Amino acid sequence: MNNKISIIIPAYNAQKTIERCIKSISNAEVEIIVVIDGSTDETLKICNNLKKDISNLRIIQQENKGAYEARKVGTKNANGNYIMFLDSDDVYETNIIERMEELINKYNNPDIIRFRYRKIPDGYEQYKYNDKDEIKIEKQDFISKVYPMFIEGYMLNSLWTNCIKKELIQNINFDNEDIRYGEDLLVNYQLFSKANNVVFVNDILYNYIYNPDSSTSDRTIKTLLKHLEDSIFVYSLLYQYIAKWNINTEENVKKVNNRLKKETNTIIKLIKNKIV
């Protein structure tokens, strides 16, 4: 199988949501790779049952190493020309693959296509990238139009709103597999540094569904302390990247300072609430 797009789904104890997730794309002409990340529930059994009727579904098992490592393994095993990531809690809009293929052809195989998401059930919609419905930005304009997004908000934080050329993501360093918080941003730093172009579209094509049982909802003190450690590491890297991108002005350094402070203070507040 050599599909144009491979969808990688990290799955850890996702028995309540994995079937809904897979079926949201099972009819598309794509390669679906579910990486079972050390699940101890019925996730693997459900996937094996689905595989009987979904010929484009592949299943990979590994010890529990987190979504970061699961995505790395999925990427290494993907056959598609483009890679996309879907969390096991979430679902795509029904037209997402058709839309990606349209944009891939229209913009002559761009390095990255970036779309928007909504949250369910609260209905929040990510704010728009641009006043235009879609726009292709070339490397020479990244300094003014792309890199500032990393320090001015959360617009480029998520990995699952990317459609990425396989040859680009294959050259990404996934060595920080112990990172469990901010891992998407860590990968995006590298992707957007190496990309020669990116297409931004304002289509909402991803549904982020809140799941209280998700690993990202874990709020033990031990987990929060690890999140704090990871957030300091990931957001401190912005200092290095704004220098690499040649945008390390005094104003931008202050913005990075504020962003790092905001991220860490949010987690510290959660830790304090646990202790009190």
Alpha carbon distance 86, 31 (integer Å):
12
How far apart are the C-alpha atoms of 152 and 147, rounded to whole Å?
9
Query: Model pTM?
Result: 0.93
If you average pLDDT over residues 56-69, what whole number do you get?
A: 91
Give 137-164 as a DSSP string: EEGGGHHHHTTHHHHHSSTT--STTEEE
Residues forming beta bridges with residue 118, ordered by sequence position: 125, 207
pLDDT digit string (tens) for 213-231?
A: 655 555 788 999 999 999 9
Identify the pLDDT of residue 177: 64
Is there a contact between 15 and 34 (Cβ–Cβ < 8 Å)? no
User: For the chain, what are the domain ranges?
Assistant: 5-217, 221-275
Q: Considering the domain delimited by 5-217, tell me its CATH architecture.
A: Alpha-Beta Complex (3.90)
Nearest to 16 by CA among 41, 38, 33: 41
